Amino acid sequence: MLAAAALAAVLGFPARPSQPAEPAPDFTTAPYGRTAGAAAEEAPPPAQAPPPRRVLLPDVGVDARVAPVGVTDRGDLAVPDDPSVAGWYRYGPAPGSVAGSAVLVGHVDSDTGAIGEFAGLYDVRRGDRVEVRRAGADPVRYRVLSRVTVPKEELPPSAFRRTGVPVLTLITCAPPFVPERGGYLSNLVVTAEPVESGRAQWPT
């Protein structure tokens, strides 16, 4: 009986995929991926910046510990199981590197039902502040440039580029949520640009 109910619940999903609770619409300043840098392909890899330890978005209340991550056996980005922890894609640039996209990723929610720290990304707006604290180095500051929602299979490769202008890319999952197709079908991708190091304050 319970199993039948569960089945019904699962089957009941596709007709009405869940929608986010009226998030702010996505925004971009330019077509996503405009900075993909083929020209810099020949450049030697820059010296590695120190690893990130913590990421904060004070405007939306995100404050997450950061752990380095790689890929799973099947080649997916290995997202930390704990939704309060963000993963830094350690094969790509670190935040503060002179080139390329530093990727931080976090679960929007966990298999146990906890809401992830990166769920706060649903509320970011252009110009929001991002701070990445690092081991043995000054924090790096960014401001949000764009937020896009893309089907998971269309995650722009530029999010993982290793060359071109430096950006911070924050990724989590986004609705629609369709359990029988593996859960969330989209990725929310927030791109932030470095705030010039000369400025003591974030721009307002």
Partner 1 sequence: MIHRTRLVIAASAGACALALGVSSPALAEQQDQAMVSVFHGIPGMTVDVYANGDELVGDFKPGTVTDPKSLDAGTYDIQIFEAGQSPDGTPALQKKIEVPEGANATVAAHLSADGKPELTAFTNDVSQVEAGKSRLTVRHVAAAPAVDVRAGGQPVFTDLTNPKEDTAEVDAGTLNTDVVLAGTDTVAIGPADLKLAEGTSNVVYAWGSADDKNLALATQTFSGMASSPRGVPAGGSGAAVATNSADLGPAWAAGAGAVAVAGVLVARRVVRRRG
Question: Which chain residues interact with partner 1 by CB under 8 A?
Answer: 2-3, 5-6, 8-10, 12-13, 16, 18-21, 41-42, 45, 70-77, 79, 83, 89, 91-92, 105-116, 118-119, 122, 152-153, 155, 157, 159-160, 162, 171-175, 177, 179-180, 182-184, 187
- Whole-angstrom distance, CA of residue 140 vs CA of residue 23: 27
Q: CB of 119: closest distance to partner 1 in angstroms?
A: 5
Q: How far is the CB of 84 from partner 1 (least distance, A)?
A: 12
CA pair distance 109, 101, nearest whole angstrom:
24
Give the nearer residue to partner 1 in terms of CB position, either 17 or 127.
Answer: 17
What is the smallest separation between the CB atom of 103 and partner 1, expressed in angstroms?
A: 9
Cis? peptide before 156, omega within 30° of 0 = no
What length is written for the chain? 204
User: Which residue, 3 or 200, has its beta carbon nearer to partner 1?
Assistant: 3
Give the tokens for residue 159. 């999010």
- Indicate the residue among 35 and 202 with the shorter CB distance to partner 1: 35
Minimum separation from the CB atom of position 106 to partner 1 (A): 6
d(CA 48, CA 66): 17
Q: Min. distance of Cβ 32 from partner 1 in angstroms?
A: 14
Contact 82, 110 (CB under 8 A): yes
Residue 181 identity (one-letter amino acid): R
In degrees and rounded to multiples of 5, residue 72 shows phi and psi of -80, 175
Nearer to partner 1 among residue 95 and residue 141 (C-beta): 95
Pairing of β 62-69 and β 52-57:
antiparallel
Measured from the CB atom, the residue of 141 and 144 that comes closer to partner 1 is 144
